[in-house]
Amino acid sequence: MTIEMEYVILRHLQMELKAPFTTSFGTFQTKEFILVEAVDRDGVSGWGESVAFSAPWYSEETVKTNWHMLEEFLVPLALAEPINHPSELSKRFAAIRQNHMAKAALEGAVWDLYAKRSGVPLHQPLGGMKKEIEVGVSIGIQPTVDDLLRAIERYVAQGYRRIKVKIKPGWDVDVIREVRHAFPDVPLMADANSAYTLADRERLKALDEFGLMMIEQPLAADDLVDHARLQPLLETPICLDESIRSYDDARKALDLGSCRIINIKIGRVGGLWEAKRIHDLCAECGVPVWCGGMLEAGVGRAHNIAITTLENFTLPGDTAASSYYWERDIIVPEVEVHRGLIRVPDAPGIGYEVDRRQVERYTQFAKVFHRPPTA
């Protein structure tokens, strides 16, 4: 089935989070992002969402660098000639180094279009079989430990399957001790977003006594070597997030022993196809994976749900309900979570309707790119 795109629309959206979200690298209150709509010659639309943030805190990409890469390089490449399968795009984009979130946003729109044209839900061509997926929540750094305990109580009561707590130096061992004391049995993990170095090994080792499922990205965002030194010192499995940007990074991390679990984010690794390749590699190596989050709106959430249906996504992901972050999401229905489970939609494509009225409401500016007459 050939995809013949007629035009691509890039929209710049801005949405307010319900509450500020704080990590070791900064606080989010407003989410700015690019929504990609790829429209074919019959007027069918596919949707993708860029997960790049306003500032280069998590990685070097930003909303503006993504817009630049999409406008100048990626959208023209995608429109230059018809596409036989969305996996071709990784090859077409290979001449452009990195910029994975920009690539993933456009590839995601083409995947949705491809699945809609094929009349199947997006998880099917990816090879996902699960009918429902397990999810947890990621809780940002709070003003006080009491605030954190109250938040955890609320999400445990809602049935979320695991609690992830953000940590940083000064908000770590003592906080986790109190959480463990209040919730002795809750599946718990901590995410440091690169806030430590090997010099903090004793501090990180002190977390071993709390039976965490894993500690996510303790060391530098671009590191595999120091993590490989740290992992044998800890009983707690290390999970890598920022450090895994490709299949080859995953292969090297597993070879070095830098981690025992991988957080897969579609945007960080450059798209659904690369995410699937990393999943398959980890499955072969007996390494569990889970789907991370980037405070996505509905379109990004829908893509996360589709990839999480693959069988080796055995640990609960960060794809919480739309209402966890948003007063009103841009999809209908919104993503709902019951007893920590999301029912995987089976309508064609991403399986949720994009609510154009809401998209309009949140859009600050947009630009349309037409295919060249020769394509």
Active-site residues, by number, are: 166, 265
Closest residue (Cβ) to Mg ion?
A: 241
Between 287 and 359, whose beta carbon lies closer to Mg ion?
287
> What's the CA gap between 39 and 43, in Å, rounded?
6
298 scored as a contact of ligand OSB (CB under 6 A): no
> What's the CA gap between 323 and 319, in Å, rounded?
11
Contact status, residue 342 vs residue 317, Cβ threshold 8 Å? no
62 scored as a contact of ligand OSB (CB under 6 A): no
Subset of 277-336 contacting Mg ion (CB under 5 A): none
- Work out which of 24, 59, 66, 138 binds ligand OSB, going by CB under 6 A: 138
326 scored as a contact of ligand OSB (CB under 6 A): no
Closest residue (Cβ) to ligand OSB?
A: 293
Task: Tell me whether strands 132-134 and 137-139 are parallel, antiparallel or unpaired.
Answer: unpaired
Contact status, residue 16 vs residue 32, Cβ threshold 8 Å? no
> What's the CA gap between 84 and 92, in Å, rounded?
12
Between 293 and 349, whose beta carbon lies closer to ligand OSB?
293
Between 138 and 322, whose beta carbon lies closer to ligand OSB?
138
> What's the CA gap between 258 and 246, in Å, rounded?
15
Angle at which helices 173-182 and 145-157 cross, to 10°? 40
In the list ligand OSB, Mg ion, none, the entry touching 134 (Cβ below 5 to 8 angstroms by class) is none
Contact status, residue 218 vs residue 243, Cβ threshold 8 Å? no
Beta-carbon-side half-sphere exposure of residue 157 (alpha carbons within 13 Å): 6
Contact status, residue 50 vs residue 102, Cβ threshold 8 Å? yes
Minimum Å distance from CB 255 to ligand OSB? 24
Minimum Å distance from CB 367 to ligand OSB? 26
Stretch that binds ligand OSB, among 118-126, 228-236, 279-287, 291-299 (CB under 6 A): 291-299
- Work out which of 241, 249, 296, 329 binds Mg ion, going by CB under 5 A: 241
Beta-carbon-side half-sphere exposure of residue 118 (alpha carbons within 13 Å): 22
Size of the site for ligand OSB (CB under 6 A): 12
67 scored as a contact of ligand OSB (CB under 6 A): no
Sheet-wide strand order for 188-191: 137-139, 163-166, 188-191, 215-216, 238-240, 261-264, 289-291
Minimum Å distance from CB 261 to Mg ion? 12
CA end-to-end span of the chain, whole Å? Answer: 17
Size of the site for Mg ion (CB under 5 A): 3
Stretch that binds Mg ion, among 207-215, 235-243, 247-255, 265-273 (CB under 5 A): 235-243
> What's the CA gap between 40 and 54, in Å, rounded?
30
Contact pattern from residue 158 through residue 197 relative to Mg ion, giving x for each residue in contact according to CB under 5 A and a dash for the rest: ---------------------------------x------
Distances (CA, A) of 266 to 10, 48, 49, 375: 19, 11, 10, 28
Minimum Å distance from CB 375 to Mg ion? 39
275 scored as a contact of ligand OSB (CB under 6 A): no
Contact pattern from residue 23 through residue 52 relative to ligand OSB, giving x for each residue in contact according to CB under 6 A and a dash for the rest: x-----------------------------
Closest C-alpha to 371, from 2, 4, 6: 6
> What's the CA gap between 141 and 192, in Å, rounded?
10
Binding region for ligand OSB (CB under 6 A): 23, 58, 138, 191, 193, 241, 292-295, 318, 320
Applying CB under 5 A, which residues contact Mg ion? 191, 216, 241
